[in-house]
Chain A
Amino acid sequence: MFEGVPLTWFLVVATIMFFIGIYGFLVRRNLITILMSLELILNSVCINFVAFNKLLYPQHLEGMFFTVFIIAVAAAEASVAIAIIINIYRRLVDIDVEKMQEMKH
């Protein structure tokens, strides 16, 4: 089904997704939307790994295992980040990054 689709196109799609994630990471001010941009970035890296694995070295499974581990790390990171966000919300009643200056000094 993917015969005829070169590796380059997968990489281009993943690159576009990665930089959309970067844009969101820079622009957004709500902590949860920043977390969502982070998920976009991680996901684009996963696409890269999988495409390299399948289209360059189909006899090995390295890219697949890296993607599995990235997904596990992303799940752990999301749970810890959301715990921190809920804790911040309980203390400051706002999760805007520009208003969080209590831990600065």
Chain B
Amino acid sequence: MAEVVVGVLRRAILAIGVGTLVAAILRLRGSGGVPPRQGSWRQLSGPDFR
């Protein structure tokens, strides 16, 4: 019984580890930074086009 529990735990830890590794790789590969999340729209006018 104890062996079964340990096996399940081992597999769960392995799954979490693999998931963390994949997430870390995806996180590192992600590009573009974080989009602006607070702010407002400003109308563009003449000086913005120079």
- Asked if A and B are interacting partners, one says no
Chain A interfacial positions (CB closer than 8 Å to B):
none
